[in-house]
Amino acid sequence: MNTNTNTAGDGSLSAFPAETPVGMCYVPFQQWETPYAENIALERGTMFPSLDLPFCGKEGLCSERK
């Protein structure tokens, strides 16, 4: 199986192999990024900005982060 970065059907880059089966779950490789400062990372629960996802509570209403 070829694991190089490929183009998707719309011409954009895809991180998935060219022959990815339908109905299978995949987790893309995390790309390196500048981490949060220690105090922000502790507050947010992650040191990586791309993993800092808002919590959506009741009825899908997302709480705003300051």
The full 3-state SS of the chain, as one line of letters, equals CCCCCEECCCCCEECCCCCCCCCCCCCCCCCCCCCCCHHHHHHHCCCCHHHCCCCECHHHCECCCC
Q: Is the pLDDT of residue 52 over 50?
A: yes
* pLDDT confidence of residue 33: 94
Q: Is the pLDDT of residue 2 over 50?
A: no
Across the range 35-53, mean pLDDT stands at 94
Name the percent of the chain lying above pLDDT 90. Answer: 29
Model confidence band, residue 6 (pLDDT cutoffs 50, 70, 90): low
* pLDDT confidence of residue 56: 75
Q: Is the pLDDT of residue 54 over 70?
A: yes
